[in-house]
């Protein structure tokens, strides 16, 4: 019994020593198992899922699309991104654009040419080349023409001087501003009399404009029928016909301030002053060619008719002034 117990105790000690040796092996640099190998990084050929977003779905033999779907949206060609480049690169489109531009330029030139036939822009600028000094002097001549001595229009190399350089040159600035002032004054006069309305004011403005147009047309027709060769242009006639608005403004103002008596006194003064101004101004434009025409034709009827045209134009001014201002003063 004692021998068997000793043997058992010896075997237990051996097992314990083996276990201790086994537990101490990691501290001595040994591993009980075989070390694992590290996995290599995945390559392009070993991708788990293929990117099919930019590839159109293929069709099978039966004509149906395979389950792969294109989620990237329509391509540039489908969105129309390359259309403008194709349009400008097309020679037919370029030729059409060049042809359209040439037609537009030709049409613009034709319009400018037709406008120039009836109204020259450069000539129109000449009639508005004024300054303050000219305007003041011209207004004094229109209201007090009896003190003015030199009525001759000055020229430089066969070209008349501008209004700012010659006070005797006709202009369109004063007639235009006087016309606008007359319309405003007429509206004020109608408002004072409790008779203002947009329709009445429009009728007043259109009537004043129509009278000027009729007067200019009659003058042009008379000069044409009598074959009068003068340097009077359409703008000259409009200017001389439009100077009456200065007298009309003066007449209406006197009528509003001093009543009917002041109106008639101002009407007589402005009418006489305007007639004197018209005769002296047109005399330098129409009558100087009397001698040359009478010598060339041997007749004295034409000079008399020219004189009649000048006097008739002057006498017609007071009639228009009274017609356009009498209803504004009561």
- Mean pLDDT for the chain overall: 76
- Band (118; pLDDT cuts 50, 70, 90): low
Strand partners, 59: 65
The arithmetic mean of pLDDT across residues 118-130, rounded, is 81
Q: What is the pLDDT of residue 180?
A: 95
Paired tokens of 166: 């010659």
Whether 25 shows a pLDDT value over 50: the answer reads no
Q: What is the pLDDT of residue 181?
A: 96
The enclosing H or E element of 155 equals strand 155-156
Whether 261 shows a pLDDT value over 90: the answer reads yes
More confident residue, 245 or 78: 245
Q: What is the pLDDT of residue 95?
A: 80
Q: What is the pLDDT of residue 63?
A: 46
The arithmetic mean of pLDDT across residues 40-52, rounded, is 50
Share of the chain above pLDDT 70, in %: 65
Q: What is the CA radius of gyration of the chain?
A: 53
Q: What is the pLDDT of residue 36?
A: 52
- Residue/partner pairs of 148-151 with CB below 8 Å, 24 or more apart: 148/280, 151/280, 151/281, 151/283, 151/284
The arithmetic mean of pLDDT across residues 281-288, rounded, is 76
Least confident of 28-32, 252-256, 325-329: 28-32
Sign of the Cα torsion 30, 31, 32, 35 reads: negative
Whether 15 shows a pLDDT value over 50: the answer reads no
User: Which of 242, 253, 247 lies closest to 177 in space, CA to CA?
Assistant: 242
The arithmetic mean of pLDDT across residues 13-26, rounded, is 47
Whether 31 shows a pLDDT value over 80: the answer reads no
- Band (117; pLDDT cuts 50, 70, 90): low
User: Which of 277, 254, 257, 249 lies closest to 178 in space, CA to CA?
Assistant: 249
Whether 301 shows a pLDDT value over 70: the answer reads no
The arithmetic mean of pLDDT across residues 261-285, rounded, is 92
Give Dmax (Cα) for the chain: 187
Whether 69 shows a pLDDT value over 70: the answer reads no
- Band (224; pLDDT cuts 50, 70, 90): confident
The arithmetic mean of pLDDT across residues 147-170, rounded, is 89
Q: What is the pLDDT of residue 64?
A: 46
The arithmetic mean of pLDDT across residues 50-63, rounded, is 50
- Tell me how far CA of residue 217 lies from CA of 117, 121, 305, in angstroms: 18, 21, 17
User: Per residue in 312-328, pLDDT tens?
Assistant: 899 999 999 999 999 99
The enclosing H or E element of 160 equals strand 159-160
User: Which of 259, 287, 248, 262 lies closest to 142 in space, CA to CA?
Assistant: 248
Q: What is the pLDDT of residue 19?
A: 46
The arithmetic mean of pLDDT across residues 281-289, rounded, is 73
Q: What phi and psi, each to the nearest 5 degrees, are found at residue 151?
A: -110, 5
The arithmetic mean of pLDDT across residues 280-289, rounded, is 75
More confident residue, 27 or 10: 10
**N-term to C-term CA, the chain:** 165
Q: What is the pLDDT of residue 268?
A: 96
Q: What is the pTM for the complete model shown? A: 0.63
- Tell me how far CA of residue 285 lies from CA of 207, 214, 243, 281, 307, in angstroms: 28, 21, 17, 7, 11
Give 137's contacts (C-beta < 8 A, 6+ positions apart).
167
């Amino acid at each position: 019994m004692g021998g068997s117990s000793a043997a058992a105790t010896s075997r237990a000690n051996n097992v314990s020593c083996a276990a201790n040796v086994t537990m101490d092996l990691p501290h001595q640099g040994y591993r009980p198992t075989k070390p694992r190998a590290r996995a290599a990084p995945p390559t392009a050929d070993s991708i788990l899922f293929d990117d099919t977003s930019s590839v159109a779905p293929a069709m099978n033999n039966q004509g149906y699309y395979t389950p792969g779907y294109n989620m990237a949206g329509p391509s540039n060609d489908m969105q129309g991104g390359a259309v403008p480049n194709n349009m400008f690169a097309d020679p037919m489109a370029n030729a059409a654009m060049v042809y359209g531009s040439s037609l537009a330029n030709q049409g613009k030139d034709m319009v400018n040419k037709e406008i120039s036939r009836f109204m020259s822009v450069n000539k129109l600028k000449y009639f508005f080349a004024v300054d303050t000094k000219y305007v003041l002097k011209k207004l004094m001549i229109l209201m007090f023409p009896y003190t003015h001595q030199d009525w001759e229009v000055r020229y430089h190399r066969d070209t008349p001087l501008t209004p700012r350089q010659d006070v005797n040159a006709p202009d369109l600035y004063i007639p235009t501003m006087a016309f606008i002032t007359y319309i405003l004054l007429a509206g004020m006069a109608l408002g004072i009399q409790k008779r203002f309305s947009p329709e009445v004011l429009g009728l007043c403005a259109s009537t004043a404009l129509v009278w000027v147009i009729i007067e200019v047309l009659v003058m042009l027709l008379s000069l044409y029928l009598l074959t009068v060769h003068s340097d009077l242009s359409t703008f000259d006639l409009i200017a001389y016909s439009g100077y009456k608005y200065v007298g009309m403004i003066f007449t209406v103002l006197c009528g509003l301030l001093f009543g009917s008596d002041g109106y008639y006194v101002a009407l007589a003064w402005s009418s006489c002053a305007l007639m004197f101004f018209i005769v002296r101004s047109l005399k330098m434009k129409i009558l100087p060619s009397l001698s040359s025409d009478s010598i060339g034709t041997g007749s004295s009827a034409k000079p008399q008719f020219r004189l009649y045209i000048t006097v008739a134009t002057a006498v017609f001014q007071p009639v228009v002034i009274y017609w356009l201002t009498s209803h504004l003063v009561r």
